[in-house]
Structure 1
Amino acid sequence: MLVPLIGVAALTAAVTRTRMSEAASAARAEAAVRAVAQLSAARSGVEHEVIPALSLAVLADPAASELLGLGPFVGQLQRTLATGATEETRAATDEALARVPAGSQWSTAAARASERLAGLRRQADAGTVPLDDLYDSYLDISDELTRAQAAAAEAATAEKVSVPTYRATRDVELVAQLAQDASRQMPLFLGTQLSRLVAGETAESFRAEWEIAWVDYTDARRRMEDLSQPALRAAWERVQTTPVFARVDGLLAARAEGADASTIPMIELIGLVNQALDRDAVLTEFLEDATDTAQDLATVDHARAHDLQSRTLLLGGALLLASVLGALLLGRMISRTLRVLAARATQVSEGSLVEVEIAGPREVRTVSTALDATVASLRRIQDQAEAVARGDLADPVLDQPLSGRLGEVVHASVRQIVHAVRQREELQSALAHQATHDPLTALPNRAQALRLVTSALHRAQRSGQMTGLLFVDLDGFKGVNDSHGHASGDEVLREVARRMTAVVRPGDVVGRLGGDEFVVLVEQVALERDLLDLAERLIGAVSAPIDAAGQQVRIGASVGVAVSRDAGTDADALVAEADTAAYRAKRRGRGRAEMFDEALRLQLTAHAELEAAIAYALANDEMQLHYQPVVDVARDRLIGYEALVRWERPGHGMVRPDAFIPVAESSGLICDLDRWVLGAATRQLAEWRADTPADQPEPTVAVNISGRHLTDPRIVEDVADALEASGLPARLLTLEVTETVLVSDPAAIDNLAALRDLGVAIAIDDFGTGYTSIGQLGHMPVDTLKIDRSFIASTDPGHRELVALMIRAAHTFGLTVVAEGVEEEDQLARLKADACDQAQGYLLYRPMTAADAGALLRPVELLATD
């Protein structure tokens, strides 16, 4: 019985709270409307202070009175009148501000306006405020009160008020806007007429602001057509027909439309100001009427809401009493049946989906039937949840809909869950495939290939069988990319992947390590010959013509074969062995297969040992620099050096650069080697420079930068660090790079441009041995071209002509030319005849130690002094 009683009580309380809320809202609306009237009166008072204040500011200056044509008597009389008007308007404004109740929502705005007015009045009385600033200050205070008035009107309309009250409040806002726009016209118009006193930008400002104010005023008058109350519209018609209203608006309209641009005499202007004040008073009275009407309507709303609240309380009490009596009678009738139903409902709420008996009065049977249907729906939901939980997404129960709107929502949720689970499984599968497979060929990628090799080695360790790995390196693939484009190259790689997959056994794995490198993992190898036979079949399949973008292309393959017999080799080592064998296959003519044997194992071990020795040498200062001088061909004078790295390896003697630099290049140590050379060369040249007289030419130093280091994003930072540590000017450092690096890697061009921005010079080393055309020189960020020694040493007349052409082309693009490998006198003579700039070679100087190279600077200094 308590359930319906509580419901009735709650409903009664809710309705009562609603009525109380409506009454409170009506009271707030009434207070807000009253605040609109109070703030409007305060704003009107502030705006009425403007004209007397402006008049006093003008009349206080005797020169201004004389300029306006006012005699002493008339000027004194006008000051007296303006003073009286000022005191009167100030008193009216203070009274209006005081009527705003303290502690109300809008009292803060009124108090702030009072405080600002007091300060402004003191400044005006002291005559320290310029005319335009005085008006702007009053206008700011008026705007602040206008915003408070608008907030009060918005608060009134936001409450639960009747439609008439809402419309009356909106009418108050329209009339208040009209009164505000009207009161702001005369000060601005007065400023336009007193332009002799406020000439220049201030006068123009008054004229522009008055024209804007007139447009706002005319818009406000047009909006009077939107007044919702007939009585207010009639009052507006009467206001418009008042003589003072018509006279003031007529004169101002003529001025605004440009019909009359003459200056109004001062006496007439004073009369116009007084008439404008009378017009503003008419509008203020009109606004008070509108406000009174809105306030009366708000009061009526408040009274009506309070009365409705009282009647609701009485009705709610009566309804509650009737409900109690009805509940007692109904309880006697159905309490026994309800106890049984309640027990079933309790079991259902606890999760036991029991059968519900349908018995008792009609109402109870209806509830029992609904509960039984709910239990049936819950059973179906339970079956669907169990199917999802065990992952049986194909169970037909998942497709069975549930009854009712809630059933539709629940069934839709189940279907969304099923769909989400399926999507997650598909996404997990796709992500797993993407993480382990090459996107271009769909073959296992490097990481997955290494994991598969590791797993195969573990299985071989248990079974005792051999595991084979074939490293397939394509021959001529770069030519396909260069000649037919990367799209054709991608198609070739996909076709190669398909052919290799078709050649191997079903259990073998084909993977792509990257670029044009593939691997084939073969388990349970019986004989090494079988792996070589497979390699030959792969070479034959890859070498067949391939259709790419409508054209036939041919490539080849070099294959390296490695075998793990005892599973003691890890995956990385097995790949390295196969790679080494493939490298030997390339060196021996390409298009063939090579088995990794003991000779290669020793070579690989020696490579690793040399790599470790290079790292040790860099860490323990075993490296040293030799310097080969560079000579100015025309003047036969030393102008710089090329720094050449040398390695005196303990226990091995001097190691040739071509023996250890390729190892450093392949291992990544080349970047560390370049950093060491940069630091040592710049420090050495800085020391020589410190000993060179200030009037002597400063030598330069050239340092070779590897292609791998040049494409490293840290190259610019490395060069900058070396220059900063040594104190060497960037203009004395030249970085030499091979032309093949410039052609093969676009990142190298960007890094070279950044290095040139540091101030260092860039030289193309061994020019003529790569693929750079002469026409490309003008677009490359380089300063110097170094012609390869093979062209200088050649006796072929065509090569001699080519050298002359290179020199002329380089000079055309503003480049300096250096000839390398000059070893004979006639070579030097030809270079001088061809206007080559610089040269180096054994004929001139061999590479020498730092001490010997530094000694060359002293004779040059003495020769220059002589």
Structure 2
Amino acid sequence: MPLWAYLVALVLVPLLGVVALTGAIVRSAVSESATAERAEAAVQAVAQLDAARSGVEHEVVPVLSATVLLDPALSAMTGLPPVMVQTQLAQAEQAVVQAQRVTDRALASVPAGSVGAWAAERALARLADVRAGSQTRSLSLVETYRGYLAVSGLLLEAQQKAAAEASAQEVTGGTYRAARDVELLAELTQTSSRVVPLFLGSQLRLDGTEDSDLDWRPAWIAYTDAQRQLGDLSQPALAAAWDGVRASAAVTAVDDVLAARAEQDTAAPLSIERIAALVNGSAARDAAFTELLDTAVAGAQASAAADRDAADGRRTATLLAGLGLLLTAAVGAVVLGRSVSRSLGVLAGQADQVSRGELVEVEGGGPREVRTVSTALAAAVASLRRIQDQAQAVARGDLADSVLAEPLPGPLGAVVHASVRQIVSSVRQREELQSALAHQAAHDPLTELPNRAQALQLTAAALSRGRRAGTMTGLLFVDLDGFKSVNDTHGHAAGDDVLREVAGRLAAEVRAGDVVCRLGGDEFVVLVEAVDDERALVELAERLIAATSEPIRLAHHTVRVGASVGVAVSRDADTDADVLFVEADTAAYRAKRHGRGRAEVFDEVLRGQLAERAALEAAIRSGLADGEMQLHYQPVVDVTSDRVIGYEALVRWQRPGHGLVPPDEFVPAAEESQLICELDRWVLHEATRQLAEWRSTAGLAQDEPEPTIAVNVSGRHLADRRVVQDVADALAASGLPAHLLVLEVTETVLVADPSAMDNLATLRALGAAVAIDDFGTGYTSIGQLGHMPVDTLKIDRSFIGSSEPGHGDLVALMIRAAHTFGLTVVAEGVEEPEQLARLRADACDQAQGWLFHRALPAAEAGALLQPGVPAPS
């Protein structure tokens, strides 16, 4: 194939790209046109569906009026004389016929296959059933009322979908804003036409219309909210038109009546004359809103049509431009190819010789570009000759030849030499970086000791070697004592210095082959291989404790920390690294529990405790799943009046084969794992459900401030980011108002975990109250109360029942301090009348204890809210 043909083909490649680009632009224009057409159709559907829905909702009033006037009992309630009843009945029936014609025409105007066609078809079918039931009186007044609202709701849903589809199309900004204006005005017409029928239902006091779905106030709120949203109208002319409509007498006459009635829950029903005036005014108002919506729809349709026309124009122009460019480029490519091919033929022959290793002299003529290529090829040949000379020197083994030290002429030579040097440097840097990264991944950055992941790998490798050699492997879990106080007193920088010093001391005490690792925080492990007996490990642990307990000198202070050490030894071939870590950790926990500063060996007792704990956790999980958990409720009474004003929910476990298990026998086990979060979640749902049921049975209103329900929330659950959603879900599922839920937490959680404080603040923002449980047993000072997100202070029973000197004054001080910060005070564990008398004298707010009631099953606790149940003595 001749060279010019290749050149033509080379030029045609980008031309094909031009063709592809032109096609893409055309497709984009077609897509934009189709999008604009869909937006226009959706906007049109909004108007058609709004007309249909408005017709349905305006049909409700005359149908209800006719139904009332046909019923002697209901017509008597209107107070109209019989002659007037007949006159009104004739007018109502005529209005029904006219309204039905308007509705039918509106539904028939929705084209088949359009956005709202499905809703129109369903509405016609349902409307026929409602009309037939109303005419034959097989439907009650409320059923007829609900039937029309259901049809209206169907059309409302379709209208909202159509408005959303119009706004969702990828159209120009102007069309999007116009579609958004249509959506806002459609929302206004929807809410406005729905308010008056619902209001009339309440005025006629129809049986069964007190349900929340027929309450007219939510519709009134939605209508006023829709009015406020019209402040976002994007089109100035439309906004000005809305200002005029909003200030018109047709709107203010209806809105003033409804606004006044919304503020007067107990106002007497309107007279028939005022109701008729309201109905007529509503029709005028809705007509004004509909006219405004029609204006917005026309504007949006015009904008969408303009977008479609613009897209069609771009498509045509792009096609014409692409075809012209393609034709011009093809002709130019043929001419250029033929003119250049001759010059390039000579140059190609020379290049072919060079490619075969013949370093010939390159000469060329023709166009400037061809001459430039010839010059470049000649320079390349010269460089190749230099490379040839260097290669010959290397082949001779003459590495000292000066030619090797000379770069190739020009920037290329410098780049080649710099590249070689950079490659060597990069290889060395990569090796150093790989080594550093491997070290960082396996070591703690603070102490340079192996980290947890590396410790597990080292332990696994040591166990494997021990199995092959038949020797035992030991693991010492070192947990520092008093490290938190160093951080709290001297700051985290001092704590880091202490950790580095402890790491050095531990490393100095072990053998050369033993490994010290830092797991994180104040926890270390020591891996010991080829263990002869446990006694050697215990002696090492005692040396580590002694070394750690020596004073540590910091920059400005001298501090002391201690250590509790757990010792675990691999006793069989099945022991793996994770198991050995758990055993050593468990032994360290026992060392801390037995007084700190000591070593404990993991033995069969601990092994049995671990197995028991695992079995207990499995049983708790099974109990939650099988419904074995139940709640008892201890009443909380008002100290002044002895009234039951709340309950504390206390979990019990009806465990098969064990009877009723108190919480102190299984809750601590749950708190050591995520099980406590599942248990808390179940208690939240059950307690809120039970209180909502009691309040409903007792006939208490939603805004009644009591009784409340208090639920204990564990520190682990409170620190979990999901606790806020768990509380919200429980309140939503039960329907209990948030202000009736009290979340009880301990002082330790509030002081130790900042995330718990943040979650508590969020829960209080939801409306739930927060109480500090067992106050006085932790580390919270009275002065901290003013800065904590709490509402209630619960004084621990150990202070209430104490006869020690000063405890009574301390209780009085707690009460006064809590009241100073605006907190409610609850006394726990009140068991004697003298204690109650003292609490009354100290102005305590609430109390709970056996003097009033023990924790009761749900049935007995709920009975206390029923009238006639005696107050506790």
- Shorter chain as denominator, the TM-score bin is 0.5 to 0.7
Query: What's the RMSD between the two structures over aligned residues?
Result: 3.6
> C-alpha separation between the residues in 2 aligned to 1:635 and 1:365?
111
Query: What is the distance in 1 between the residues matched to 2:615 and 2:380?
Result: 89
Letter aligned with residue 790 of structure 2: V
Alignment of 1:346-357 (within 5 A): none
Alignment of 1:402 onto 2:410: no
Q: 2:814 aligns with which of 806, 818, 823?
A: 806
Asked whether the 8 Å contact 1:681–1:701 carries over to 2, the reply is: yes
Partner of 2:224: none
Corresponding residue SS for 1:491:
helix
For residue 136 of structure 1, what is the aligned residue in structure 2? none
Question: Which of 838, 847, 852 does residue 855 from structure 2 map onto?
Answer: 847
| Aligned residue type for 1:791 | F
CA distance in 1, matches of 2:405, 2:378: 27
1:422 aligns with one of 422, 425, 428:
428
Pick one of 559, 568, 578 that aligns with 1:572.
578
Give the C-alpha shift of residue 416 in structure 1. 2.4
Deviates more, 1:457-466 or 1:635-644: 457-466
CA drift of 1:434 comes to 2.4
Q: 1:374 and 2:387 equivalent?
A: yes
Larger Rg: 1
1:671 to 2:677 alignment: yes
Cα distance, 1:798–1:368 mapped onto 2, change above 3 Å: closer
When structure 1 is superposed on structure 2, of 436-445 and 805-814 the one drifting more is 436-445
SS of residue paired to 2:513: coil
- Distance in 1 of aligned mates of 2:534 and 2:542: 13
- Report the Cα offset of residue 829 of structure 1: 0.5
Among candidates 604, 611, 614, match of residue 617 of structure 2: 611
Query: Which residue does the alignment assign to 1:391?
Result: none
Aligned equivalent of 1:277: none
- Structure 2: gaps (5+ residues): 8-338, 361-376
In structure 2, the residue matched to 1:794 is 802
| Match runs of 1:332-343 below 5 Å | none
Q: Percent identity?
A: 68
CA contact (8 A) 2:647 2:710 kept: yes
Partner of residue 491, structure 1: 497
Match of 2:761 in 1: 753
CA shift, 1:716, in A, is 0.3
- Secondary structure at 1:844's aligned position in 2? coil
Matched, 1:592 2:605: no
Shift of the alpha carbon at 1:376? 3.9
User: Aligned partners of 2:798 and 2:401: how far apart in 1?
Assistant: 82
Cα distance in 2, alignment partners of residues 684 and 460 from structure 1 = 59
2:528 is matched with which residue?
522
Q: CA deviation at 1:340?
A: 9.8
Change (3 A) 1:423 1:701: same
Distance change (3 Å), C-alpha of 1:860 and 1:438: farther
- Is residue 637–residue 860 contact of structure 1 (8 Å, CA) maintained in 2? no
Shift of 1:859: 4.1
Aligned partners of 1:728 and 1:366: how far apart in 2?
89
Q: Partner of 2:560 in structure 1?
A: 554
CA shift for structure 1 position 413: 1.6
Partners of 2:380 and 2:735 lie apart in 1 by 95
Letter paired with 1:402 = P
Q: May I ask how many residue pairs the two structures share in their alignment? A: 514
Q: Which residue of the partner structure matches residue 205 of structure 2?
A: none
1:136-147 aligned at under 5 Å gives the runs none
Q: 1:372 to 1:602 in 2, by over 3 A?
A: same
Measured after TM superposition, the shift of residue 789 of structure 1 is 0.9
Shift of 1:502: 1.4
Aligned residues of 1:377 and 1:407 also touching (Cα < 8 A): no
1:651 aligned residue (642, 652, 657): 657
Q: Encode CA deviations 1:48-103: one digit per residue, 9 max, x unaligned.
A: xxxxxxxxxxxxxxxxxxxxxxxxxxxxxxxxxxxxxxxxxxxxxxxxxxxxxxxx
- Residue 445 (structure 1) aligned to one of 451, 454, 473: 451
Distance 1:771 1:344, change over 3 A: same
Question: Is the counterpart of residue 768 in structure 1 residue 776 in structure 2?
Answer: yes
- For the 8 Å contact 1:377–1:403, the answer to whether it is kept is no
Q: Take 1:852 and 1:620, find their aligned partners in 2: how far apart are those partners?
A: 24
Q: Is the 8 A contact 2:353 2:359 kept in 1?
A: no
SS of equivalent to 1:658: helix
Q: Could you say which residue in structure 2 is the equivalent of 1:712?
A: 720
Alpha-carbon distance change, 601 to 408 in structure 1, aligned in 2, over 3 angstroms = same
State the alpha-carbon separation in 2 of the partners of residues 539 and 411 from structure 1: 61
Cα deviation for residue 639 of structure 1 reads: 0.4
Give the partner amino acid of 2:847.
A
Structure 2 CA distance for aligned equivalents of residues 759 and 487 of structure 1: 40
- The whole-number CA distance in structure 1 between the counterparts of 2:721 and 2:447 is 30
CA distance in 2, matches of 1:717, 1:496: 42
Contact kept, 8 Å, 1:345 with 1:371, in 2: the verdict is no
Aligned residue in 2 for 1:253: none
Aligned twin of 2:183 = none
Indicate conservation of the 8 Å contact 2:480/2:523, yes or no: yes
1:829 aligns with 2:837: yes
The whole-number CA distance in structure 1 between the counterparts of 2:396 and 2:724 is: 67
SS of equivalent to 1:474: strand
Q: Match of 2:416, as an amino acid?
A: V
Distance 1:486 1:339 in 2: 74
CA distance in 2, matches of 1:823, 1:469: 50
Structure 1 residues 669 and 549: CA distance shift in structure 2, 3 A: farther
8 Å Cα contact 2:564/2:588 also seen in 1: yes
Within 1, Cα distance between the matches of 2:763 and 2:646? 20
Query: 735, 738, 741: which is aligned to 2:746?
Result: 738
Following superposition, the deviation at residue 600 of structure 1 comes to 1.2
CA contact (8 A) 1:689 1:698 kept: no
**1:666 Cα deviation (Å)?**
0.8
Deviation at 1:415, TM superposition (A): 2.4
Amino acid at match of 1:757: A
Task: Say whether the 8 Å CA contact 1:468–1:523 is kept in structure 2.
Answer: yes
CA offsets 1:117-171 (integer angstroms, 9 cap, x no match): xxxxxxxxxxxxxxxxxxxxxxxxxxxxxxxxxxxxxxxxxxxxxxxxxxxxxxx
